[in-house]
């Protein structure tokens, strides 16, 4: 019988997320994977990987079982058994919000999710489990918005995360976000006109009622990103929601002032600002499918070109697929992390 790792479901009550702007729970459950040898040697310490979920996802969803597809528990056990990855602790946090996601950053519209991870969850895990509590033994990775979060967290906090892997992470916002703006203005008209339509969508659709309309994801994606990149707490009273959208709700014309706020969070525009931090990282791995529906393969190429010009070391790979159902790329991610992460001396 193959050795198996264990899944522990953690419950953590956050001080930082208490009284967050959306009234989302401050108490979060999230799974922690402990490798097969964890309980066999009480003195051994292990590297840690933080696996971030994509938009509308949270950590516990990695445990879902589906036909002909491994969940994360099965995948990690297999990779360790095949000696494709080292034994590591894998933490899968919950950073979801009412609007679909936090992008793992601090926002006045959603809450302080970067601080939640860096100042609360990482110290909590290090205090409770036999981790190697140093940046060179700690990685952050994810796909889609999780990949974006990995890039942002590592470039801003290299003392915490010295290894970063992004699979199809959000980059080059003109390509990955802006093409959906014209569709939003017609989709949102199902709920009325102007600001009232947005407020009505939030009131009517952000609940457990099913089925959701076909236009749901396009609307919630733009709302979710606006809540992270262009928060506006004063808008709650004036418009019925606490963020600014980067386009005119009637014509779709780009509102440059607002979209510029988004671009300040775009990884391709942050390389220069965080050049020194990026050079401290022991691993930068950027991965994307060449048929990505959000053109994230182009964003990855642009990001890597900027790294190259700054003489920052990185690994860039592409694969023949789109954006969906690419969990199999985690095989490569954990293999690459294993080659670069530091074990206990």
- Give ∠ CA 87-90-92 in degrees, rounded to 5: 165
Rounded Cα distance, 277 and 275, in Å: 5
Quick one: average pLDDT of 75-79?
Answer: 97
pLDDT tier, 345 (very low <50, low <70, confident <90, very high otherwise): low
User: Are 265 and 103 in contact, with CB atoms under 8 Å apart?
Assistant: yes
Ramachandran angles phi, psi of 56, nearest 5°? 70, 15
pLDDT digits (tens, 9 = 90+) for 214-247: 999 999 999 999 999 999 999 999 999 999 999 9
DSSP secondary structure letter of residue 61? G
From 187, 113, 205, select the one nearest 156 (Cα to Cα). 113
Residue-range domains of the chain with CATH: 6-172+267-340 (3.40.50.1820), 175-263 (no CATH)
User: Are 141 and 333 in contact, with CB atoms under 8 Å apart?
Assistant: yes
pLDDT tier, 22 (very low <50, low <70, confident <90, very high otherwise): very high
User: Are 242 and 233 in contact, with CB atoms under 8 Å apart?
Assistant: yes
Rounded Cα distance, 133 and 284, in Å: 20
In order of 162, 275, 323, the CA distances from 317 in angstroms are 20, 21, 15
Q: What percent of the chain has pLDDT over 90?
A: 96
Rounded Cα distance, 314 and 340, in Å: 12
- Which two three-digit tokens encode residue 271? 């390389």
In order of 173, 215, 328, the CA distances from 84 in angstroms are 34, 41, 14
pLDDT digits (tens, 9 = 90+) for 178-205: 999 999 999 999 999 999 999 999 999 9
pLDDT tier, 1 (very low <50, low <70, confident <90, very high otherwise): low
**Average pLDDT in the chain:** 97
pTM above threshold 0.95: yes
In order of 35, 164, 186, 310, the CA distances from 80 in angstroms are 8, 20, 49, 35
What SS3 class is residue 240? Answer: coil
Rounded Cα distance, 51 and 318, in Å: 20
Residue 41: pLDDT above 90? no
In order of 49, 94, 159, 233, 305, the CA distances from 163 in angstroms are 9, 20, 10, 34, 19
């Amino acid at each position: 019988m193959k050795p198996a790792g264990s899944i522990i479901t953690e419950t953590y009550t956050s001080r930082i997320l208490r009284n967050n702007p959306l009234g989302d729970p401050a108490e979060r459950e999230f799974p922690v994977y402990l490798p097969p040898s964890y309980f066999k040697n009480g003195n051994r310490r292990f590297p840690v990987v933080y696996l971030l979920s994509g938009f509308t996802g949270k950590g516990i969803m990695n445990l879902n079982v589906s036909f002909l597809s491994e969940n994360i528990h099965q995948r990690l056990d297999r990779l360790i058994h095949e000696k494709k990855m080292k034994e590591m602790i894998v933490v899968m946090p919950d950073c979801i919000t009412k609007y679909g996601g936090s992008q793992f950053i601090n926002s006045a519209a959603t809450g302080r999710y970067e601080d939640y991870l860096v100042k609360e969850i990482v110290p909590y895990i290090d205090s409770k489990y036999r981790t190697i509590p140093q940046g060179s033994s700690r990685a952050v990775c994810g796909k889609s918005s999780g990949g974006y979060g990995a890039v942002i967290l590592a470039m801003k906090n290299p003392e915490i995360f010295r290894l970063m892997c992004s699979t199809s992470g959000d980059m080059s916002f003109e390509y990955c976000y802006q093409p959906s703006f014209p569709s939003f203005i017609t989709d949102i008209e199902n709920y009325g006109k102007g600001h009232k339509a947005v407020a009505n969508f939030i009131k009517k659709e952000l609940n457990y009622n099913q089925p959701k309309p076909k236009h749901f994801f396009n609307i919630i994606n733009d709302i979710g990103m606006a809540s992270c990149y262009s928060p506006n707490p004063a808008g709650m009273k004036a418009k019925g929601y606490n963020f600014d959208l980067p386009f005119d709700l009637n014509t779709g014309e780009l509102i440059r002032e607002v979209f510029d706020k988004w671009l300040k969070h775009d990884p391709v525009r942050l390389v220069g600002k965080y050049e020194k931090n990026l050079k401290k990282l022991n691993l930068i791995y950027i991965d994307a499918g060449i048929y990505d529906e959000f053109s994230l393969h182009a964003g990855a190429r642009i990001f890597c070109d900027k790294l190259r010009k700054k003489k920052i070391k990185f690994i860039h790979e592409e694969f023949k697929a789109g954006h969906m159902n690419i969990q199999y790329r985690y095989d490569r991610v954990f293999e690459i992390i294993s080659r670069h992460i530091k074990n206990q001396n």
